[in-house]
């Protein structure tokens, strides 16, 4: 699930991961990609139909790290992390998904550089996006040479 606001520079990182996967991935029984934008909670119905065992959320968050840094976060950790462009913070919607869908929810977070309106992805965040998409491709399609 790629989360973020496309019009705010690096905040689009989660969305861009999903777009790369949609471009590169043919059908996969192991992976369904969801471009959730700034309101992932709106996809609860879709997730119910899919009945996932794991939901991987890719997003950016202010973690005080160098831009482009990638870090796994526990949902509870996001109570103090800035996700200001979203309707709800990850600990709320992620906790709801875990509870309602009886699945594991994982959050992969990228440190943004700039999230100004109308800006594009920074180079460091673009590299992180490409790295994450390549790693997910290896899981989704182990026979791929990505």
pLDDT per position as a tens digit, 94-103: 999 999 999 9
Domain extent listing, the chain: 2-140
Sheet (strand 70-73) strand order: 35-37, 2-3, 54-60, 104-110, 70-73
Q: Supply φ then ψ for residue 51, to 5 degrees.
A: 50, 60
The share of the chain scoring above pLDDT 90, in percent, equals 61
Question: Which is more confidently placed, 58 or 88?
Answer: 58
- The CATH architecture assigned to 2-140 reads 3-Layer(aba) Sandwich (3.40)
pLDDT value for 146: 47
Spatial neighbors of 70 by CB under 8 A, at least 6 apart, are 108, 109, 110, 111, 128, 131, 132
The per-residue pLDDT for range 49-67, each reduced to its tens digit, is 999 999 999 999 888 999 9
Mean pLDDT of 87-112: 90
Query: What's the farthest any 2 CA atoms get from each other in the chain?
Result: 39
Cα separation, 21 vs 32, in Å, equals 10
């Amino acid at each position: 699930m790629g989360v973020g606001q496309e019009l705010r520079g690096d905040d689009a990182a989660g969305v861009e991961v999903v777009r790369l996967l949609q471009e590169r991935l043919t059908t996969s029984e192991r992976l369904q990609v969801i471009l959730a934008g700034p309101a992932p909670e709106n996809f609860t119905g879709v997730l119910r139909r899919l009945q996932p065992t794991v939901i991987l959320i890719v997003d950016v968050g202010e973690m005080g790290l160098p831009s482009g840094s990638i870090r796994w976060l526990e949902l509870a950790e996001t109570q103090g992390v800035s996700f200001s462009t979203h309707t709800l913070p990850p600990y709320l919607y992620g906790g709801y998904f875990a509870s309602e869908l009886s699945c594991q929810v994982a959050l992969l977070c990228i440190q943004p550089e700039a999230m100004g309106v109308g800006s594009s992805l920074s180079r460091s965040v673009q590299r992180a996006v490409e790295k994450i998409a390549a790693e997910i491709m290896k899981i989704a399609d182990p026979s791929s040479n990505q």
